[in-house]
Amino acid sequence: MSRRSSLIASGFTLLVALILIVSISPRTFPNWAFSLTGEESLGGQLRGLWQLSGDALRPRLDLRSDVPIAHAGVNPYGINTFLEQEVEAAKRAEQVRLISAAGFHWLRQEFPWYDIEIHAKDDFEDRRFEPYRSAWDKYDHIVSLAEEHNMELIVRLSSPPAWSRTAGNTRGAFAPPDSYADFADYAAAVASRYAGRVSHFQVWNEPNIFPEWGEQDVDPVAYTQLLCSAYSAIKAANPQAVVLAGALAPTADLTGRDLNDFIFIERMYAAGAGECFDIMSVQGYGLWSGPTDKRMRSVVINFARNQFIRDMMVQNGDANKAIWISEMNWNAVPPESGLPPVYGQVSLELQARWAPLAYERAQQDWPWIGVVNFWFFKRATDTEQNQSWYYFRMAEPDFTLLPVYDSIKAYVESNPPSMYPGLHQDDHWAIQIEGVWERIPANNAQLGAYALIESESAINIDWHGTDLLLITAPDIPGGNLTIRIDDRPPQSITLSRSGGLVPVAERLPNGRHRLTIEVDSALALDAIQVRARAPISFTMLLVVFTVLGTAWFVYRNSLDA
C-alpha cells in the first residue's frame, strides 16, 4: 500500500471510530471505554480505542477455547506469601488465617533450596544458629497451616545454596547449580516428604531475566534441561504431583541477560520442554492499564499478554494444558515516596478496584486460565520500603490490612463458583455432586477419565452464558435425567448409549443461571460446554466498519496506482 493510501485508510478508520464514539451517551462512555481499554482518563481511553481498532487488522490468535484443558477448572484464588521469612510461628499462623478469611484457596510459597539443604548435599539440619534443628521444621509448619485452613500450596522450587556451585555466589545468589541432578534430588526430597499433602510444584521463577538466572546471560536450553531433570525426579517421588513451568517475566528486551518471554518459550519448546511440565506459568501484571485492557500489542505489557503465550502453546501442541498466573497486581507506590514508578503507579483505591476485576476477567474470558495468584500478602519487615516493588503488598508487616484485602474478600463472597463459556471437565470447581460418584479412566474420554454418577444423585452448577451442553461418555447404558434451569419447569432428557453432546439449555438470556440435574440412572459425565451467544455489540460494529472501510480505500487506491 502506498503512503497516500495508508494515510487515507487511517483517516477513514479514525473518522468511523470518532462517529461511533460520539454516538454513545456521555454517561455510559467512560465505563464502556474502560471495559475495552483499561484506561481511566479520557485521553487514555481515546488513544486506547484508536489502538484497539488497529488490532482488528492484525492476524487473529489461535486460542482454542473450545478444547478440553487440564487443570483449568480449579478454584482461581491464589496469593503469594513469604511465610518462611517469619521467625515467629504465630505470625505465620496469623498470615494464613487472614488469607483464608479473605477467600483465597492457594498459597504460592517458595521452599528455598538454600534454606532446606543448607550446608551440604543430603544435609537437612540447620546449624546456622543454636539450638540446631531440622531444616524441615518451618516448612512442615507451613504445610500444616495450609491443611488446617483447607488450602493448597504451590511450592516454588528455586534459590540454590552456595555449595551447589563451585564458584559459590560469584555469579549471583540465584544462579543455577553446577549439577542439575543435585537440583532434581532437592526437588524429589521436597515432593517425597510432602507426598499426599502437597501436589503442585513450580520449577524456578523468571529464568528469562537478570538476576533470576544469576548474574549472567539467560539460557532457555539450560533452563529446559533443569526443568526436565526436576520434572522426572518429582514424578518419580510423587506420581500424583503436578509440575508447573517457571513463570517468565514479560519483557521486550533482547540483551542476553533479559530475553523476551515469547522467544524464550519458543526456544524452550525447541529444546523439548513440552514433555516436562503439566501447567504453563505466566506473570499477569497490568502495569499502566487496568485488567479490562483488550489491546494486543506484543511489545507492550498488559494483563491480556497471556493470550500470546496461549497461542504459542496451541502452535506447539499444548492446547490441552492450562496457564496459571503466578503473580498479578498493580503497584501502589505512593507519589510522595519519590520512588520511580517502574511497575506502573496506581492509588490504593484503584488497586482495590482493579484486582477483583482481574479475577473476573480471567474466569469470564479465558477458559485456559486456572489459578491467579495475587502478588503478594506481606513482607516480614518494612526494610524494603525504599524499593518500588514493596508496594504490591496487601498488608503491612504489622498486619495492617490495605483496601485491596477487603475488596477481594467482598468479591469472593459475592461470586460463588461458576462456569463460564468454554469446554470444562467433570472436575470443574463449580460442579457440586450430591450422591455417589467416581472418576473412571477411559481412553475415549476428553482427558482420559469421566465421572460416573450413580442413580438418585444430583448435580448443581452455577453458570454464565446462553447455552449449556453435556458431553457424555460412550458405552454407558442410557437413562433419564430431570433438568431444572432457574425457575423454569423441569424437563426430562433421555440419554443415548453412544454418548456425545446433550443439549440442556439453549438461547437463554446471557447471564447467570442455575442448573440442577437429577440422575434417574447412571450418568457418565465427560465434560460440559458453555456457550454465550452475544448479540452484535457496538465493539463488533466498530471493528466491522473499520475493516470494511480500510479494505475499500485500499482497493480504490490500488485501482488508481
CATH no. for residue 106? 3.20.20.80
The answer to whether residues 441 and 452 touch, using CB atoms and an 8 Å cutoff, is: no
Count Cβ atoms below 10 Å from residue 524 Cβ, excluding itself: 24
What pLDDT sits at residue 325?
98
Whether residue 187 is found in the same domain as residue 125: yes
Q: 54 vs 50, 292, 305, 558, CA distance in Å?
A: 7, 17, 17, 21
The verdict on residue 151 lying in a domain is yes
Whether residue 406 is found in the same domain as residue 434: no
Whether residue 439 is found in the same domain as residue 391: no
C-alpha dihedral, 238 to 71 to 80 to 284, nearest 10°:
140
Whether residue 390 is found in the same domain as residue 456: no
Nearest CA to 297 out of 537, 57, 62 is that of 57
What pLDDT sits at residue 16?
54
Please give the tally of structural domains in the chain. Answer: 2
Query: Of all residues in the chain, what percent carry a pLDDT higher than 90?
Result: 78
Q: What is the pLDDT of residues 429-465, one digit of tens each?
A: 999 999 999 998 988 888 889 999 998 999 999 999 9
Q: 398 vs 377, 386, 391, CA distance in Å?
A: 12, 17, 15
- Extract the C-alpha cell encoding 461: 452448577
The verdict on residue 296 lying in a domain is no
Give the max Cα distance, the chain.
Answer: 87
Whether residue 471 is found in the same domain as residue 439: yes
Query: Per-residue pLDDT averaged across 486-511, rounded?
Result: 88
Q: What is the pLDDT of residues 371-396, one digit of tens each?
A: 999 999 999 999 999 999 999 999 99
What pLDDT sits at residue 164?
98
d(CA 483, CA 532): 20
Whether residue 513 is found in the same domain as residue 453: yes
Nearest CA to 277 out of 309, 299, 300 is that of 309
Listed residues 398, 414, 430: the one ending a domain: 414
The verdict on residue 131 lying in a domain is yes
Q: Residue 243's beta-bridge partner residues?
A: 201
pTM of structure: 0.91
The verdict on residue 42 lying in a domain is no
Q: Which H or E run contains 245?
A: strand 242-245
Q: What is the pLDDT of residues 503-517, one digit of tens each?
A: 999 999 999 999 999
Whether residue 379 is found in the same domain as residue 480: no
The verdict on residue 399 lying in a domain is yes
Whether residue 231 is found in the same domain as residue 88: yes
DSSP per residue over 223-238, as a string? HHHHHHHHHHHHHHH-
What pLDDT sits at residue 158?
97
d(CA 13, CA 358): 30
Count Cβ atoms below 10 Å from residue 148 Cβ, excluding itself: 12
Whether residue 369 is found in the same domain as residue 478: no
Q: Which domain holds residue 261?
A: 77-280+360-414
The verdict on residue 26 lying in a domain is no
- Residue 499 belongs to domain with CATH number: 2.60.120.260
Whether residue 104 is found in the same domain as residue 135: yes
The verdict on residue 352 lying in a domain is no
What pLDDT sits at residue 358?
98
Nearest CA to 177 out of 235, 117, 245, 236 is that of 117
For the cut 60, the answer to whether the pLDDT of residue 19 exceeds it is no
Whether residue 376 is found in the same domain as residue 518: no
The verdict on residue 19 lying in a domain is no
Whether residue 384 is found in the same domain as residue 514: no
Task: Look at the chain and count its residues.
Answer: 561
Listed residues 351, 381, 414: the one ending a domain: 414
Say which residues have a Cβ less than 8 Å from residue 188's Cβ, sequence separation at least 6.
233, 234, 236, 237
The angle subtended at Cα 328 by Cα 231 and Cα 378, nearest 5°, is 95
Q: What is the pLDDT of residues 93-128, one digit of tens each?
A: 999 999 999 999 999 999 999 999 999 999 999 999
For the cut 90, the answer to whether the pLDDT of residue 538 exceeds it is no
